[in-house]
Amino acid sequence: MTNKQLDLVVVGFTGELKMLELQARSIRLFAPDVFSHIIYVVNDQNFRAFEQFFEQKIVPELGPAAPRAQLMDGKNVAGGKLDRTDWRSQQSLKLLAARHVLSPQFLVLDSKNHFIRPVEITTFIAADGRLKTHRYSFNEKFRSKFDNACQYFGVAGPGPDLEAMPTATPFLMSTKAVCALISDVETREKKPFQVFFTESGNYTEFYFYFAYLLSKPGLLGALYVTRSRPQVTLFRSAAQDPKKLRELLPVLDRADVYCFGVHRAVFEAADAENQKSIADVWLRFGLVQTRDECTYFQTPDTPIPKRRFGFF
């Protein structure tokens, strides 16, 4: 019988605490029983501040899912001191979290992601046990990172018709495959994976994983089946070009889109029309009840220095 348990991994920092609060609410509303375990990995030097917010704000929002949630200091996930807590360490921690996942597969979310419709285990895992992912043309911004990964794993020039796996969350991963990847790298490099990945800067986590799967003939097809894109994410570019946001939002009308994401740069830009459009989405899907709540979640967090953590 196919094992359809699924864990959730979220890597966050103190600069996105309110978005994690909104995400937790979305889990309570739309996915209260889906995830066997929820692992929050703290990619921040101020673990205590994150922990305080987690206990006071995130745990209550999780509702029935709260007993299945745990908080982990990033250094414990990395297996040693985090010399840096930035985008690169965030990527490495998403992979390294596999060593603490208890289910055969896991979903990775960023702080910016939140559910907007009810999801079930079948939303993520097909009847035959394969993970459901979307595929599309390569993100040229990261194409060199993929080429680097292919070179690292000895993948010889994937053909022009190859469709890429996603470069952003939500992203489903095989626990066994990620753990094997990490072990292979550590054996080859003779250093902790976190040190190798963050010092290199030559890779992105998901294209690194994608290239690894391609290096094992038949593994990609054995693990994944293709579905339509399940999310709308407003990246930094939406802050720079407000028109892009208004072009993307109609995609949320599709019943198979279950996830919405907003990069913190969009809130930092504070474009009034954008803010209203995002608030309209949250109100439409019942994530918030009032415009005041929208204002709260749209107010950017400032990363909390290590010396401070009493912020309520």
Quickly state the pLDDT bin for 25 (edges 50, 70, 90).
very high
- Contact of 173 with 108, CB cutoff 8 Å: yes
Quote the Cα angle for 80-84-89, to 5°: 80
Quickly state the pLDDT bin for 307 (edges 50, 70, 90).
low
pLDDT of 105 above 90:
yes
pLDDT at residue 245, rounded to an integer: 84
Residue range 27-48, pLDDT digits in tens: 999 999 999 999 999 999 999 9
d(CA 10, CA 94): 8
pLDDT of 309 above 70:
no
- Contact of 93 with 77, CB cutoff 8 Å: yes
For residue 170, is the peptide bond before it cis, meaning its omega torsion is within 30 degrees of 0?
A: yes
pLDDT at residue 1, rounded to an integer: 36
SS3 for 159-203 is CCCCCECCCCCCEEEEHHHHHHHHHHHHHHHCCCHHHHHHHHCCC
Quote the Cα angle for 292-298-300, to 5°: 130
In order of 52, 224, 229, 275, the CA distances from 165 in angstroms are 36, 10, 11, 30
The whole-model pTM stands at 0.95
pLDDT of 250 above 50:
yes
Average pLDDT over the chain, rounded to an integer: 94
pLDDT of 312 above 70:
no
Residue range 111-136, pLDDT digits in tens: 999 999 999 999 999 999 999 999 98
Residue range 171-202, pLDDT digits in tens: 999 999 999 999 999 999 999 999 999 999 99
Q: Which two tokens stand for residue 173?
A: 């991963």
Among the listed residues 23, 58, 28, the one whose alpha carbon sits nearest the alpha carbon of residue 118: 28
pLDDT at residue 18, rounded to an integer: 98
> What is residue 270's DSSP assignment?
T
Least confident of 13-27, 93-107, 265-279: 265-279
Sign of CA dihedral 121, 124, 128, 130: negative
- Residue 262 pairs in a beta bridge with 234
SS3 302: coil
